[in-house]
Amino acid sequence: MSPRTQPRTGTGPRTRTRTRDADAMAVTAFVLGLVGLLVMNLLLGPVAVVLGALALYRRTTRPGRARLAIALGITDVLVLACLVTADGTWSWSLT
């Protein structure tokens, strides 16, 4: 059989690269969600949600981490909303 007539199995180098990219997205989203709890909630929260959703869409091998990243991203935005309603600030304040 020539290479053009062989059936595609989906296990080639391109599929492995996509899986690795999706795994990296899941881990990055998780880290951004964690960091977003402390600083830059408004920016890092939505980015964590989007990256986590993209990782799930691309079928990551770490779906738990991607789902946790989405939950952390939503929590980031909720923490920011609580801060804004509590004292009218857009950032953490120790005083």
Query: Average pLDDT for residues 8-36, to the nearest whole number?
Result: 81
Q: Please give the model's pTM, rounded to 2 decimal places.
A: 0.76
Give residue 14's pLDDT band: very low, low, confident or very high (50, 70, 90): low
3-class state of residue 5 by DSSP: coil
* Strand, coil or helix: 80: helix
Spell out the SS3 assignment of 6-71: CCCCCCCHHHHHHHHHHHHHHHHHHHHHHHHCCCCHHHHHHHHHHHHHHHHHCCCCCHHHHHHHHH
Given a cut of 60, whether residue 68 has pLDDT beyond it is yes
The residue behind tokens 């920011």 is: 80
- Summarised one tens digit per residue, pLDDT across range 28-57 is 999 999 999 988 888 999 999 999 999 999
Residue 10: the pLDDT is: 53
The residue ranking higher by pLDDT, 72 or 20, is 72
Residue 73 · residue 52 · CB < 8 Å: yes
**What is the chain's mean pLDDT, rounded?**
83
